Chain A
Amino acid sequence: MTIRVALIGNPNVGKSLIFNNLTGGRVHVGNWPGKTVEKKEGRCRHRGEDIQIVDLPGVYSLTAQTIDEMIARDYIVKEKPDVVVDIVDASNLERNLYLTLQLLELEANVVVALNKYDLAKSLGFQIDVEGLSKMLGVRVIPTIATTKEGMQELLDAIVEASKQRRRGSTLRYNERVEKIISRMEQLIQEDKLLAEAYPTRWLAIKVLESDEEVLKEIEKSSQKERILALKESLQKELGGDASVVLAEARYEFISGVLGKTVRGAKPLTVTDLLDKALLDKYAGIPVFLSSMWLLFRFTFDVSAPLTSLIEMFFGWLGTLASASIPNEQLAGFVVNGLLGGVGAVLTFIPPIFFLFFGLSLLEDSGYLARAAFVMDRIMYRLGLHGKSFIPLLLGFGCNVPAVMATRIIESDEDRIITILVNPLMSCSARLPVYILISSAVLGSYAAIGVYSMYLLGIALALIMALLFRRTILKGKPSPFILELPHYARPTLRNTALHMWERGSLFLKKAGTIITLTMIVVWFLSSYPWGSHIEESYVGMLGRTLEPLFRPLGFDWRAVVALFFGFLAKEVVVGTFGLLLGAEATGLPEALRSQGIFTPLTGFAFMAFTLIYMPCVATIAAIYRETNSLKWTLFAIVYSMILAYVVAFAIIIVGHLLGFA
């Protein structure tokens, strides 16, 4: 008879390596039924026994909140493998034993593979393997997957365990929790069908934790009403969130086990020290904000001379083109349309590349993952899923891949909220607009102006997420576990490579959609040929829309810039370049001298640019990812209303503070 074995463990514990060691690489790869998650199966023979091994997805727990957890739990509950080999990282027992306890609650026939045993020893841990085995009530085998040590012993233990099945759970949490679990268990046992299909203690725990999948089973029970009524009263008795109370009980149990079976302490490492401060409850967020401010000063101020050089280059090119092209219309097209429009956009290559360089540096060092961890505390409270931070952070680069990155979020509600607020993150296309307007009207405080737009975007994203969560997408975000990578010293080559990968997208965009849009804007601003710009087609458009924006202090030129900025936000800068007749050089000066903005209206304009209607590519991405015209239209309409309200509020508050 074949022994059916399931391999389970946290991610990065060496599970795949053990799977390959046991099966000798003879693997069948397929998909889990109805899922796109890879399923690996293999076989081996040991002591005359045929062993079939299934590699379950790497999971931290069995709460069934992710597809991976659902697959792993369903397999153990429904397929009932003969043996479940739980691979734990011996150097990180506290975290890994959490899954072990959940497997024992499930009354799985567990064998623990204590992997990375050599690493634990080198870190100074002395593990009493026998003691650990006794306290958990299962076989514990030290293994080193990389050198294949312990594999034969593990196979021996699998064969033995398959012949001596464990009966019932041996785990006992603290007295208060145990009393509550046993009261629920007694009631569940009254439903014979339920008690035969599932371990009753596990069902009791899951009912108390309000596990959705288990509650669906309870719905079918003859004791449904009594179980649900008892659940309510016991949850009150437990106090607080039952799943948190039970998680604490598990960690309390783990702490007791480790206290008796593990000696020695891991010496402090640089990673420990950095995490102590960077993940600190109080210091974490201020350090994150300070790092971001440093990044923006680097982006804005250090790149300034390179921007000046490009401006000078386009200025020189404009003079050359004016002098050497005799045809008036062609000269107008080259000087105003291409050099004035596209050139104005290209002058922002340095800050965009500097921003990506800084972000890559933070990402490659491992800090950004910590920032996600730190921000999760706020984000969870405001109704955003922890995993949302990654798409939101990507939004600083470009909202299109950021919207696509929301695929990592399992829950539809969490995902739609993240998609809806993602365009509020300041993508690199908005940076040229901020820099232009800030330089023009905020003088030496321009960097603060730019930084405040980034902060405003984050704050609005959080506020809107909270609002959506409380109104149209009610519910609680599901908790998430984030694996923090080790800190690493970033290399110049890798950082430069990442910078180029992201920055080159801007160059491609400048060569395609921005150039095409600028040609259209040039045409509309130059024809009827010979007319004053205010009488051109673009002037007519601006004048028509201007009254709508008068309360915000935007004149027709600003309105036209916003109108075409819908295609790509950089076009706002190009349109100003074209409308003001300024070559790339001196565009901020032209804005200033023509009095288009005061510091207050300029700030409101930046806020409007940040918030109003996502660019056309982002709208397409929203439609693709939500597959819903309703949500796409909602994203456009709410952002327009919000942009107007925020810009108007800035003007009002500014006036109250005495700004002109």
Chain B
Amino acid sequence: MVRTRNNQGILVVYALIMGLLYVVIGLAEFILAIWNWFIDPSGNLSLPYLPSRDLFGGFSSLTIGAVYLRSLDLLKGRNESLGFTLVGALLAGAYSVVYMLIIGADGLNAYLSHISGEEFTWEWLTQGTLETGILRPEIWLGLASLPLLILTLKNLESQKSE
């Protein structure tokens, strides 16, 4: 029982941190995209390491953050709110994997262009379709969500065995 409580405490703090990070990043990406798409299309407002025109990507990160934050209901003793950490972590992980696949696909495309006679550059890794390439924060936040997924499943198991 004590272990469960401790786990849940760590889990809530972890979910809170991840949730806030995702919300901040998602919001920034979303606002940048709105600005660059609709308010000042000719300019290019940007922030370091963030894509400047990924409207739906920003929305998705915002969603992941909000889902994580909804798991704070665990503090009110609502155990089923573990579902929010589970879905948040799964979505974050899926985004991380697909973003890495996109970088890989960009790399393969760069190689194909190279064998067709174009100059090979590392732009696919640092910029690419994702705009910020391997530095896209969601890739790393997705990986950082993995412990949360494990903690959630462990917590669920410990509840079953009680």
Contact = CB atoms under 8 A, between A and B. Distances in A.
A267 B159 contact: yes
A304 B63 contact: no
A477 to B, nearest CB: 28
A455 B54 CA distance: 16
Nearest to B107: A305
B131 A274 contact: no
Nearest to A654: B41
Given A273-B80, A274-B83, A305 B70 contact: no
A294 B83 contact: no
A302 B103 CA distance: 8
Interface stretch (A275-283, A393-401, A412-420): A275-283
Interface in B57-76: 57, 59-60, 62-64, 66-67, 70
A451 B112 contact: no
Interface string B108-132: 1100110010000000000001010
A401 B146 CA distance: 40
A277 B86 contact: yes
A302 B98 contact: yes
Given A277-B87, A297-B98, A268 B64 contact: no
A451 B104 CA distance: 21
Interface in B20-78: 38, 41-42, 53-57, 59-60, 62-64, 66-67, 70
B98 A294 contact: yes
B156 A268 contact: yes
B6 interface: no
Contact of A297 (B59, B102, B113): B102
A319 to B, nearest CB: 13
Contact of A305 (B64, B95, B112): B112
Interface string A280-310: 1011001101110110011001111100110
Contact of A277 (B38, B83, B95): B83
Contacts of B79: 268
A445 B59 CA distance: 15
A448 interface: yes
B66 A283 contact: yes
B101 A272 contact: no
Given A268-B79, A280-B70, A448 B86 contact: no
Interface string B86-104: 1110010011001101101
B59 A293 contact: yes
Contacts of A312: 112, 116
B3 interface: no
A301 B156 contact: no
A290 B60 contact: yes
Contacts of A268: 79-80, 82, 156, 159-160
A294 B60 contact: yes
A362 B129 CA distance: 24
A312 B81 CA distance: 51
B56 A451 contact: yes
Interface in A609-660: 657-659
A658 B82 contact: no
Contact of A301 (B41, B64, B82, B105): B105
A1 interface: no
Contacts of B102: 297, 301-302
Interface residues of B, number: 47
B156 A287 contact: no
A270 interface: yes
Interface in B146-162: 152-153, 156, 159-160
A304 to B, nearest CB: 5
A444 B53 CA distance: 9
Nearest to B112: A308
B56 A293 contact: yes
A297 B96 CA distance: 12
B137 to A, nearest CB: 16
Contact of B57 (A270, A276, A293, A298): A293
Nearest to A296: B56
Nearest to B88: A277
Contact of A287 (B91, B108, B109, B153): B91
B129 A301 contact: yes
A302 B41 CA distance: 27
A286 B59 contact: yes
Contacts of B131: 444
Given A268-B82, A294-B94, A302-B102, A289 B159 contact: no
Nearest to B104: A302
A379 B99 CA distance: 32
Contacts of B99: 297
Interface in A247-286: 267-270, 272-278, 280, 282-283, 286
B112 A273 contact: no
Nearest to B55: A448
A651 B68 CA distance: 40
Nearest to B108: A305
A273 B98 contact: no
B56 to A, nearest CB: 4
A177 B66 CA distance: 41
Given A301-B102, A305-B108, A305-B112, A283 B56 contact: no
Contacts of A272: 80, 83
B87 A448 contact: no
Contact of A304 (B105, B156, B159): B105
Contacts of B94: 291, 294
A488 B156 CA distance: 18
Interface in A429-487: 444-445, 447-448, 451
Give the one of B56, B63, B66, B113 with max A CB within 10 A: B56
Contacts of A293: 56-57, 59-60
A268 B85 CA distance: 14
Given A287-B67, A301-B105, A312-B112, A273 B86 contact: yes
Nearest to A293: B56
B87 A278 contact: yes
A294 B86 contact: no
B109 A305 contact: yes
Q: Please list the 9 inter-chain residue pairs (A to B) with the smallest Cβ-Cβ separation, ordered nearest first.
A: A276-B83, A273-B83, A277-B87, A305-B108, A290-B60, A286-B63, A277-B83, A301-B102, A293-B56
Given A268-B159, A304-B105, 11 more contacts: A272-B83, A273-B87, A276-B81, A277-B86, A283-B66, A289-B60, A291-B91, A297-B98, A298-B98, A308-B112, A447-B129
17 contacts: A273-B80, A274-B86, A276-B84, A277-B84, A277-B87, A277-B88, A280-B70, A283-B66, A283-B67, A286-B59, A290-B91, A294-B91, A297-B57, A298-B101, A305-B108, A448-B56, A658-B41
